[in-house]
Structure 1
Amino acid sequence: MKQALLLAFTLLATTAQAQIGRRFPAEKKVVKDPVTGTPLTFLTSTPAGDSKIYQTHNQWTADLQWLIFRSNRAKNEALAVNEKTGEIVQVSEGGYTGMLNVARKAMKLYFMRDLPGSTKEQPAGVQIVEVDLAKVFADSKAGKMQPASAYQRICGTTPLELQAGGDMALDGDENWAYFRVGKEEAARHLAPGTKLEPEFGPRHMGAGPAGIAAMNVRTGAIKYVVSVPFQIGHIQTNPWVPGEIVFCWETGGKSPQRTWTVQADGTGLRPLYPEAEYEWVTHEAVITKDETAFTIMGHRPIPAVAKDVAPGTPVAGANPGQEAAWGPSGTREKPTGLAIVNHRTREVTIAGQTPSGSGLWHVSGSADGRWAVGDDFARNIYLIDRHSHEMLLLSTGHKPTAADHPHPTMSPDGTRIEIQSAMLSADGKSMNICIIPVPAAWLKRKY
């Protein structure tokens, strides 16, 4: 009897911990950057394994009050933190896979979820799930949560033959969600005789084929978008132009041609920025209705003078990508830095570059075209005024030992930047959610 009661109590406790709407104590604190003096607002501050959404995707809810993030506080679930109050609320139940997609127009969250019994070797299809965030926040605050089904709606289930998974991106119209499909399905949509690309680089990635399909999140309808002869990595959309997709050729490092764009009907497939063999292009992110920012890396020493870099140096630590097998790219013999390409005119500009070190790495920018932001291998955060090209070291001290990179993302209104940081972690690894303001003096600038 005691064992039965203990088991029942354990099950109830586990269920309660996994519930949508569960609340966590606020941890918000403001810390002054030890070097730059910038006030850093840590929305989380304990070592609970936090991480932000990747910088290709939106982070803020439509009302700009909450940020969605991941954490071991509720493993494999999505959480939200209120930027003003510091309240933390669990906003999913039942787990998710791939990318979290926060709608910009409605208080909704979308993600993929593996069907029960699905494994990497034998996928069983995935569901796309919609969460009514406004309802979760209201009921959680009132302490009157209902079952998860009152907040989570299954938009549809992908056919098994698609082998759907990986990245997901919500269209600018917020009616369609794009996702990767498996090699077998991708091959069926390639033109006969298409030459498949082999793996590229020392990570043995990049081989094709791959493809993109979509689900209508209102009706559950499925449509096929495009197949390509190489491995697809990150998929993102243009939030201001429905039907415009940006994706990458993924190799784990330098790609033969990193950035690509295509329309939702499969037309217009082309390289977004046609790169040269000597250019290491990476970490593209759509930043305005007409522009994508990306990095042309300048992180590798010039071979003729790099006597201190041993062949076969592993990709690890603060300075990845040094292996000779990546080819002749990534040095500063040619222009490098935070680049921005215009989708319409195809013109490219270099917004800025660090004078030394790895150069800029992950990038973002404001929707009004005023600012660009990037991090480097040392986890420093740089802000760039796109009008004057002035570059400011905004924040440092986020520890190269951190579990991941800062991945800076500009807020929709262009006033602040979200990063993930290990600055407060005793182990130098565990990360927290941090907000960095654009300096008030910069915001007041007139052009």
Structure 2
Amino acid sequence: MSFRKTSLLLSLLLAAAPVWAQIGQRFPSEKRVVNDPVTGTPLTFLTTQPRGDAKIYPSHPQWTADGKWLVFRSNRAKGEAIAVNEASGEMVQVTEGGYEGMLNLAQSGGNKLFFLRKDPAGGNDKIRQAVEVDLDRVFADSQAGAMKPAASYQRVFATLQAELEAFGDNALDADGQWFYFRIQGKAYAGARLPAGTKVEPPFGPRGMGAGPHAIGKINVKTGEVRHVVSVPFQIGHIQSNSWNPGELVFSWETGGKSPQRTWTVKGDGTGLRPLYPEAPYEWVTHEAFIGKDEVALAIMGHRPIPGVVDANRAPGTAVEGANPGQEDGWGNTGTREKPTGLAIVNLRTREVNLVGQTASGSGLWHVHGSADGRFATGDDFGRSLYLIDRRTREMMVLTTGHKATARDHIHPTFSPDGRKIQIQSAMLAADGREMNICVVPVPQAWLDRK
């Protein structure tokens, strides 16, 4: 073959091969403190440029095990994850080869990241790799300017075959031993349902919710894959208890109101039951572990009562295309004819406690709480953030003005020490849509309460 033909062939092969920015790539600090124009709360924006930033979903840890870095999604390196040092604002790319769905940060045993991804080599589109990243080595070598190939930091600990149709809804156990993932393969999931189980059809106007689905788990050290549980409906939002190994919460995902939204099961597949048994008129959503024994969730009051004109419903409650649940077909659910608000379920006693609700508007939507049991937090359709003292039930607005036109919701998550809340915000966006990573402090006066 001539040199010219060889060069042409090499060029074609390079053009066809996937290209990723290198793990360990560094980005300069964008950190800036902005006082909220309404409340005066000092907001620490760790990113300020329009680069497609998005935080990890609020049901999962946001900070690395040492508490120094927050990991988020960004187009700074398209399709890759970025870590930002909260103190310095410096950013480091921490994946190479992409990821799919959830990013999972270990909470013990060093700074590590776990996720699923498609096989970078291509082939069968339904095959997934489970990957562990040694973040401590990435941070150290990136700082020293001595990065090695990606395989030096990323370990593929399992390959999930096509029949599973594994998807990016996943979670890491509290002790880092098992990695749980969603199985969409209906034949696989259905074959493991109890005999006689009725498979659920789609529910609601979005045509979602049909089963069966399943949850599987992978041993992080050995790569062993096990079946956990099959259910007759569509699974969403798998999360693990970050304080208690072997305990999961997940949802029946319909894109809106579910017949029974929240479920819990043990990591060995036993103990499957509804977490919060909901009534047909209740719209339950956005459950999140907030401590060893507690899960927060929202009982929504976002929909108008049929036939009643409510002048108190705040502007921005139903921004076109921005907020869910306004379309017809969900029935008479999610109204304030019945009690609504931020609910906290005790996993041991099964008792439920409503700790707060906004006076009007959409009500609290995405919810979370501090692990010490002192505070709860939630956002609303207007992208404001509220703080609740669980002992006194006092509620305050921490920050507002994060633009209801944003391309996503602010998704609050407490830090492990309960002193601050991470959100994603479009407050600085010139187009009203692009979001940045922001940390909001709990007021010192509230922290000083005994």
Tell me the TM-score normalized by structure 1. 0.94
CA distance in 1, matches of 2:388, 2:258: 26
CA contact (8 A) 1:163 1:185 kept: no
Q: Which residue of 1 is the match for residue 426 of structure 2? A: 422
Quote the Cα distance in structure 2 between the aligned partners of 1:374 and 1:81.
24
Q: Report the CA distance shift for 1:324/1:17 in structure 2 as closer, same or farther (over 3 A).
A: closer
For the 8 Å contact 1:125–1:163, the answer to whether it is kept is: yes
CA distance in structure 1 between the aligned counterparts of 2:348 and 2:291, rounded to whole angstroms: 12
In the alignment, is residue 321 of structure 1 matched against residue 321 of structure 2?
no
1:286 and 2:294 correspond:
no
Deviation at 1:374, TM superposition (A): 0.4
SS at match of 1:74: coil
Give, in angstroms, the shift of residue 123 of structure 1.
Answer: 3.6
Question: Is contact 2:20-2:96 (8 Å) kept?
Answer: no
Q: CA deviation at 1:164?
A: 1.2
Moved over 6 A (4+): 14-17
Q: What is the match of residue 135 of structure 2?
A: 133
Q: Tell me whether 1:402 sits opposite 2:406 in the alignment.
A: yes
Distance in 2 (CA, whole Å) between partners of 1:283 and 1:43 is 25
Give the Cα–Cα distance (whole angstroms) in 2 for the partners of residues 73 and 208 of structure 1: 37
* Cα distance between partner residues in 1 of 2:127 and 2:173: 21
8 A contact 2:20–2:97 mirrored in 1: no
* Aligned twin of 2:179: 177
Distance 1:216 1:83, change over 3 A: same
314-323 or 89-98, larger mean C-alpha shift:
314-323
**Which one of 327, 334, 337 corresponds to residue 333 of structure 1?**
337
Q: Percent identity?
A: 67
Q: Name the SS of the counterpart of 1:157 in structure 2.
A: strand
The SS at the match of 1:69 is: strand
Which digits, 9 at most, give the CA deviation of each residue in 1:188-223, with x for residues without a partner? 101122111111111010011110000011110011
Deviation at 1:125, TM superposition (A): 1.6
For the 8 Å contact 1:317–1:401, the answer to whether it is kept is no
Q: Is the 8 A contact 1:315 1:321 kept in 2?
A: no
Output the CA distance in 1 between the equivalents of 2:214 and 2:157: 21
Instruction: Give the whole-Å Cα distance in 1 for the aligned partners of 2:126 and 2:438.
Output: 37
- Alpha-carbon shift at residue 117 of structure 1 (Å): 6.6
Asked if 1:197 is matched to 2:200, the reply is yes
The AA in structure 2 aligned to 1:343 is L
- Where structure 2 has 5 or more consecutive residues not aligned to the other structure, the ranges are none
| Shift in alpha-carbon separation, 1:207–1:315, aligned structure 2, 3 A | farther
Change (3 A) 1:410 1:285: same
Distance (whole Å) between structure 1 residues aligned to residue 321 and residue 371 of structure 2: 33
Q: Does the CA-based 8 Å contact 1:254-1:281 persist in structure 2?
A: yes
> SS of the residue aligned with 1:186?
helix
Deviation, structure 1 residue 63: 0.7
Other-structure match for 1:262: 265
Shift of 1:417: 0.5
Considering only aligned residues, what root-mean-square deviation do their CA atoms show, in Å? 2.3
Identify unmatched segments of 5+ residues in structure 1.
none
User: Mapping of 1:213-252 within 5 angstroms?
Assistant: 213-252=216-255
Contact (CA 8 Å) 1:315, 1:323: kept in 2 or not? no
Q: Is the 8 A contact 1:317 1:400 kept in 2?
A: no
Following the alignment from structure 1 to structure 2, what is the Cα–Cα distance between the partners of residues 199 and 45? 41
2:160 counterpart residue number: 158
Shift of 1:159: 2.6
Q: Which sits farther off after the overlay, 47-56 or 108-117?
A: 108-117
